[in-house]
Structure 1
Amino acid sequence: IMTRSIIYSVCILFCFSCNNEMTQQFEPKSSALGKMNEIVVVADDDLWESAIGDTFRYYFQSAYPILPTPEPIFDIRQFSIKELNNQPLRKELRTYAILADLSDEDSPTTQMVKKDMGSEKFEAVMAGKGKNSSVGKDKWARGQVLFYLFGKDKVNLSEAIKNHYSAIARRVNKHDEKQLKSSIYVDVINRRLTERLKNDFGLDLEVPGEYKVVIDDVENKMLWVRKDTKEAIQNLVIRTIPYDNENQVTKANMIALRNEFGKKYIKSDEPEDFMVVNEKDLPVYEYTFELDGRYTREIRGVWEMSKAFAGGPFATYLIVDEKAKQLIYVDAFVLAPGHDKRDLMMQLDFIVKSGKFTNRIQI
């Protein structure tokens, strides 16, 4: 009778445990919260404070190109498994990087990674045959993405961080795209300005509703629009230039075009004080890509006033539209004294790089 009672009690306990697990499994998950450009690192404290943490920070917190005051590419927070469990809301954030040295089998992070990846994959990694990265979704909340980086030892883990940084950064940016777009188009699209760009510049660019015209130079085919808030001014300048040859699409010529605009339109009350590219003290980076099938060169740097103490970041794009025999010049720049500028520049960059071309241009 006693044996039967014990078995009965165990069965009840087992059923209760299973029922509890099933209930948790089928409970609806909440939507993930958090800011864009933020990565939550899940790692043991001693691992994070070691060279592994230094390596991760070196890549993921390197400077965003290029700002007057350095800001990181990503904002980083780190929690241990214990800290996650103590504060359940920490499990409802959007983007995670999970770092594990699989040789430390007593590590709570290693134990979680092993459970998530399965014994077969774990053994393959320990044998030096498996991949040392993985991507998961919606582990604790809907809309989450989790990047697992692990290795059979610390050396292997460090290599995983180095080798997968670029791919992870792209995935994070893609994951943040919806949130970035929502931060740009808070209001309706400015239909009048959007149609104007289609008709007069051949560029289908969705201008956010908060942007207003500063200067409309019809004769020189130049339009300057901007958004003003208490913290910042975001600017977009669009103009067309007749296209003669490839020598026009160089970094030197783009800087000259930008300085020409600054000298003509951006001035202070002080004589001979105008906006200019700072290429003496700071680098000007250049990139090439295709925008809707058109060759595009981009330069990034810092602008400043030639005399007054003011400046900010800029990105200039020169798009070759061979069909229309013209160059489309787009300049994005920010003035935000005392405030972070990374996200503001990312918003402008998104607007420009979402552009398409149309045949409705009036030449």
Structure 2
Amino acid sequence: MTNRLLTFLLTLFIGVTTFSCGSDVAQRLNPTPSAFGAINSVTVVADSSLWINGASDSIAYFLEAPYIILPQPEPIFDVRHIEPVKLTAMPTFRELRNYVVLADLSDANSPTTKMVVNDLSDAKIQQVREEGFGTVVARNKWATGQQLIYLMGKNREELLRGMSTTRPAVVKRIADSEGLRTKETAFFQGVNRALMDTIMERTGANIQIPYGYEIVPVMANDFVWLKRSTRKGSLNLIATRVPYENQAQLTKEGLKEIRDQVGRRYISSSISDTYMRINDEDLPLFTENMDMNGAFAIEGRGIWEMENDFQAGPFISYLINDEARKQLVLVDGFILAPGEKKRDLMNQLEQILGTARVN
């Protein structure tokens, strides 16, 4: 092999190696960012003309309905509206987690319409023009962990009409995604096995309890009260059991009676002659039948107050039918946080209580 050939091969090898390393370095220097944003926040992308002419009112009903149930109203999601130009003018707006994109396809000059036509297939756009309304869900367009929900109408009227029919599905999709984030936040330190064992011994229920909760001393062999301090109050979890007597216990009235008995017996403030009870006079008690990890349960949401004191707040209860043990298990979360927003705290309690199993 001649020296000239050796020199050529060596130069070629160095060039290929340099190009490969350069590509790897470029990828490391410019990775796909991770989406960010506050939990339960949604960014709505829409033209200002569409927003002013009906879309803002529809979105208020669509995504800003009150969270059930809190002493002071809070929306289920925090909504921010932006126009498409901000997505290019301010790159951080492309790195948020949840987007709802509203497009009136009859407006060919609309920046949002142009964006949607560019993002989606011609077949999908044609389908919307023929059927009147359509939806598409895309993920990780600009950042990892991101979802975009496109809502499109062949004109403004069809868009607004279609939004009302798709509301439950869209809300559930966003809520499920944000629920996972909430659960990760609640359990980021892992679970407290000792507290889980205590609940199992006293009630027969298996509930995942994150670190950060401490047991409140109560003299009872069938009741547990756990508390985690917040900046201005506390998150509280309680669990207890009662014998199953009849089907009437598994109703709204039955849940209220059992929870009020627990509140009167075990939960009070620092003032004497105080006890916790449900206040369903100022705000209603909402209940719903559900499957709780394989067992029948009644879910209750409402407001608690401290009798003979000035404390109150929201709660969520699950009264679970433990058929194998012929008992009912009540798992409950309530908040004392005067002056603080409570929606995201309630979501945390819901994620914890949602792990409860009796079978």
Structure 2 match to 1:80: 83
SS of 1:356's partner is coil
Q: Distance in 2 between matches of 1:238 and 1:305?
A: 19
SS of 2:351's partner is helix
State yes or no: 1:262 paired with 2:291.
Answer: no
Cα distance, 1:185 vs structure 2? 1.5
**Residue 195 (structure 2) aligned to one of 193, 196, 199:** 193
State yes or no: 1:336 paired with 2:337.
Answer: yes
Q: Distance in 2 between matches of 1:243 and 1:257?
A: 11
Counterpart of 2:121 in structure 1: which amino acid?
A: G
**Residue 135 (structure 1) aligned to one of 134, 137, 145:** 137
Cα distance, 1:322 vs structure 2? 0.7
Contact kept? 1:137, 1:145, Cα under 8 Å: yes
Q: Distance in 1 between matches of 2:211 and 2:270?
A: 30
Contact kept? 1:215, 1:225, Cα under 8 Å: no
Structure 2 match to 1:345: 346
Q: Distance in 2 between matches of 1:217 and 1:292?
A: 30
SS of 2:216's partner is strand
Q: Distance in 2 between matches of 1:182 and 1:234?
A: 17
Structure 2 match to 1:150: 152
State yes or no: 1:299 paired with 2:297.
Answer: no
Cα distance, 1:267 vs structure 2? 2.8
Structure 2 match to 1:311: 312
Contact kept? 1:288, 1:295, Cα under 8 Å: yes
Deviations 1:206-227 (A, max 9, x none): 11111111134444x0111111
Q: Distance in 2 between matches of 1:346 and 1:122?
A: 37
* Aligned counterparts, 1:42-121, within 5 A: 42-121=45-124
Contact kept? 1:30, 1:142, Cα under 8 Å: yes
Q: Which ranges in structure 1 are unaligned for 5 or more consecutive residues?
A: 1-22, 359-363
Question: Size of the alignment, in residue pairs?
Answer: 333
Cα distance, 1:251 vs structure 2? 1.0
Higher mean alpha-carbon deviation, 275-284 vs 139-148, is at 275-284
Counterpart of 2:160 in structure 1: which amino acid?
A: S
Structure 2 match to 1:29: 32
Contact kept? 2:62, 2:167, Cα under 8 Å: yes
Counterpart of 1:281 in structure 2: which amino acid?
A: D
Structure 2 match to 1:280: 281
Deviations 1:174-195 (A, max 9, x none): 2223321221123231110112
Cα distance, 1:201 vs structure 2? 2.5
Contact kept? 1:132, 1:149, Cα under 8 Å: yes
Deviations 1:318-356 (A, max 9, x none): 000111111001111000000010111111111111223
Deviations 1:153-175 (A, max 9, x none): 11111122111111111111222
Cα distance, 1:120 vs structure 2? 2.2
Contact kept? 1:67, 1:313, Cα under 8 Å: yes
Cα distance, 1:117 vs structure 2? 1.7
SS of 1:34's partner is coil
Structure 1 match to 2:8: none
Q: Distance in 1 between matches of 2:266 and 2:218?
A: 12
Same amino acid, percent of matched pairs: 37
SS of 1:127's partner is helix
SS of 1:122's partner is helix
Counterpart of 1:98 in structure 2: which amino acid?
A: V
Cα distance, 1:142 vs structure 2? 1.0
Q: Distance in 1 between matches of 2:353 and 2:269?
A: 28
Q: 1:169 to 1:223 in 2, by over 3 A?
A: same
Higher mean alpha-carbon deviation, 163-172 vs 260-269, is at 260-269
Counterpart of 1:181 in structure 2: which amino acid?
A: K
Q: 1:265 to 1:200 in 2, by over 3 A?
A: closer
Counterpart of 1:142 in structure 2: which amino acid?
A: T
After TM superposition, the score normalised by the length of structure 2 is 0.88
SS of 1:132's partner is strand
Counterpart of 2:209 in structure 1: which amino acid?
A: V
Deviations 1:90-115 (A, max 9, x none): 10001100001111110000011111
**Residue 210 (structure 2) aligned to one of 201, 208, 211:** 208
After TM superposition, the score normalised by the length of structure 1 is 0.87
Q: Which ranges in structure 2 are unaligned for 5 or more consecutive residues?
A: 1-25
State yes or no: 1:224 paired with 2:216.
Answer: no
Cα distance, 1:270 vs structure 2? 4.7
SS of 2:38's partner is coil
Cα distance, 1:271 vs structure 2? 5.1
Cα distance, 1:83 vs structure 2? 1.5
Q: Distance in 1 between matches of 2:201 and 2:277?
A: 30
Q: Distance in 2 between matches of 1:188 and 1:135?
A: 32
Counterpart of 1:84 in structure 2: which amino acid?
A: L
Computed over aligned residues only, the root mean square deviation of the Cα atoms, in angstroms, reads 1.9
SS of 1:349's partner is helix
Q: Distance in 1 between matches of 2:189 and 2:264?
A: 33
SS of 2:324's partner is coil
Cα distance, 1:231 vs structure 2? 2.7
Q: Distance in 2 between matches of 1:266 and 1:194?
A: 21
Contact kept? 1:133, 1:160, Cα under 8 Å: no
Contact kept? 1:241, 1:326, Cα under 8 Å: yes
